[in-house]
A and B are shown apart, each in its own frame.
Chain A
């Protein structure tokens, strides 16, 4: 492996800007770190270059641990967005800078310089000053300069950011060519998905300091695992659907299973379906569709963009109960693109009624799809759904907050015996002295996740994860991963061994801890740190929460009975911290 990152964390004023990133980049690979501004991608690149120290984790280049090695000894070449050429030096001196530092002989310097200038197609420009070159030429000089000392790794930080579209494409081609010719391991940072697609062998998508997904460009586009990647790589319509054994349902209407790709588990639950605009088919009637029918709609907007036609199709009210994960502004409409060929086959005008079909749906393997605020009265539900943390979470997860009046939550009544209507997403309740009863009640009535929210809780800085029962482990990890992708918080798994555990049992505890970590990493793409405590579970959790700044607890359980007893300290009084309780019944052996 050329570059190995192991749980690299960099904090800035206490908040992690790079959050537990682990990554391996192979020899000669062209790797693109893609993410919006502020996602930590540039910081990560600077950490690899050695210009920024890390607070946690290790960095290795070609098997050599360089975590504490100075930048000048790492043997990397770095190219900056603003070129960073030495303006008082000629092109020749800029390129030879690294060689001069290493006291390379003149003849050799000149030869290497000529070679590099040929490589970046700037022969004969030796004696020019940077100010006499165009932006594209300056960046070529910067690339040549970064390669002069034959680095093992080439790092490029938004190298095309300051260039206009045409030059950008030209330079992109040059860089790809240079990279192939030299076979040098390259990491490029960009916020431009088109650039990432054009250059990358593999793409790593970052958001909020976390590396969300890594994969080949086509894989990530076709089969994203997270909402963020689905919407950041190209356009996507996100729909809420129910998944069951026989396929995907939008409301009562099932979509042909052949069109569905993605994880299909037996458990019936709410999922997020990704519909690419180009996978949507429009036809005059339902019968005329060649693909699986989704809904009826009205063409609201029509933009001609050359090769493609872009449309916004508003879903007809009540049609098939298709629900968007997040309504786009003023209404529920789908983004559709159509090729010239499709346009010729069926011409549409604004205001026209159409039948909408889907050729392909990708289902995201996310257990946490939306939130439902639950309280006993309309006013309370309304108030709860406006809680800043909840609104913030929903916005980041690109999902919605539904409301649900639960008479069962009213003081005194508490008729929790019957299961009533399916719960959509995580049920949210306000923290109050009786929270424990609320939790028990909602779980008994069929909720699988209950989110207890103290008033005006701040966005969490640290998320503690714990499962009380082994049966809830994998669901807890999945929910945690799903939530943490949208937070910049650090994740810490806390395991607690009972008081009086024999010393000899400790290694066993450590092993369980490491197993949990590797499962989180391998199955759910979740990087977390681990801590082992000894004592009473509830007491230890409360202590940990108390020691953390703005924490959130994710607690996995598989038994409703005895919650009061098992989590006395945690749940007996009004919960002080936001808590997400994940409940899964142990699977019955068939």
Chain B
């Protein structure tokens, strides 16, 4: 009798209670979508580039024009993500900590770069930063040219990546209770100390995630950059543009080779950021310093 009851109840105990239908089904969907949308196309990309011989492959990817584009693409993306790290944090802080009129509007504006077709942002930025644009005309006398230089590329990538930073840091900041700061203050800590020892460690993982997302997005950005960069080979030409040019010349294998390089570098950088995050977590949990 008892045994019968147990055998009947055993499978029930193994099953995880959940609102959605079973694990098998959801896991199936997960693998299917990851394969169909992410893994297969990436594999096709690598396979396509392998149709080149090694010497051809190296020639394509080490072409000075290509190397110049890597430098701009990854350099500007890193710089833009870095700018977002600082200013995205400040924006998130302002939105989380203060009440002011128009807060909701500003909060909604953050998402605009998500929704806007990137070409539109590119054209808009070019208009503003061109030599006779609203901002460009005031920078001109100082010898600062934004549009059609690497600075313009960075500006465009900063705009594109900003929402990623703000939206990841915002919830993390909201979780830092005011009580924690109050506690630290009564214990004698100054503002800088509170920021460094209490707030920063708590939101650092979110900031790194935001940084990684903003960086990844910037590397892949195409639409907004081609309008503001001017696309001078070796100077203001980004790798995605170079790929498009290759495609237009029907050099599919060359395009794939460049794509593979981008894939590789992006993967390495994201991996590095993830490792950094994991290391940071361990460090904080171990010693708390």
Contacts and interface: CB of A to CB of B under 8 A. Distances in A.
Contacts of A452: none
B187 interface: yes
A51 B182 contact: yes
Interface string B268-289: 0000000000000000110111
Contacts of A54: none
A208 interface: no
A76 B185 CA distance: 10
A129 B281 CA distance: 13
A98 B187 contact: yes
A88 B202 contact: yes
10 contacts: A46-B182, A77-B187, A82-B179, A84-B182, A86-B183, A88-B201, A90-B288, A101-B193, A142-B183, A146-B187
Nearest to A151: B186
A82 B180 CA distance: 10
Contacts of A146: 186-187
Residue among B183, B197, B289 facing the most chain A CB atoms (10 A cut-off): B183
Contacts of A142: 183
Contact of A51 (B177, B186, B188): B186
Given A87-B202, A88-B284, A102 B188 contact: yes
Given A86-B288, A87-B202, A88-B202, A78 B182 contact: yes
B188 A89 contact: no
Interface string A72-114: 1110111010101011111011100110011000000000000
Contacts of B198: 86
B99 to A, nearest CB: 12
A49 B288 contact: no
Contact of A101 (B188, B201, B284, B289): B188
Interface string B165-198: 0000000000001011011111111100100011
A90 B180 CA distance: 15
Given A84-B179, A87-B202, A88-B201, A148 B288 contact: no
A227 interface: no
A71 interface: yes
B185 A71 contact: yes
A129 B179 CA distance: 18
Interface residues of B, number: 22
A149 B183 contact: no
B196 to A, nearest CB: 12
Interface of A: 46, 49-51, 70-74, 76-78, 80, 82, 84, 86-90, 92-94, 97-98, 101-102, 129, 142, 145-146, 148-149
A313 B76 CA distance: 82
A73 B185 CA distance: 9
Contacts of B202: 87-88
Given A72-B190, A84-B182, 20 more contacts: A70-B185, A71-B185, A73-B188, A77-B186, A78-B183, A78-B186, A80-B183, A82-B179, A84-B177, A86-B183, A86-B197, A88-B284, A89-B288, A94-B288, A97-B197, A98-B188, A101-B188, A101-B190, A101-B193, A149-B188
A70 B289 CA distance: 26
Contacts of A90: 287-288
Residue among A49, A50, A88, A129 facing the most chain B CB atoms (10 A cut-off): A88
Nearest to A71: B185
Given A82-B177, A84-B179, A129 B285 contact: yes
B124 to A, nearest CB: 41
Nearest to A52: B182
A272 to B, nearest CB: 41
A239 to B, nearest CB: 44
Nearest to A73: B188
Residue among B186, B189, B287 facing the most chain A CB atoms (10 A cut-off): B186
B185 A88 contact: no
A148 B187 contact: yes
A42 B187 CA distance: 18
Contacts of B180: 84, 86
A50 B201 CA distance: 25
Contact of A72 (B179, B188, B285): B188
A90 B285 CA distance: 7
Contacts of A92: 288
A490 B236 CA distance: 68
A71 B288 contact: no
Contacts of A84: 177, 179-180, 182-183
Nearest to A77: B186
Nearest to A131: B285
Nearest to B286: A90
Contacts of A86: 180, 183-184, 197-198, 288
Contacts of A94: 288
Contacts of A98: 187-188
Nearest to B198: A86
B189 A97 contact: yes
A115 B184 CA distance: 21
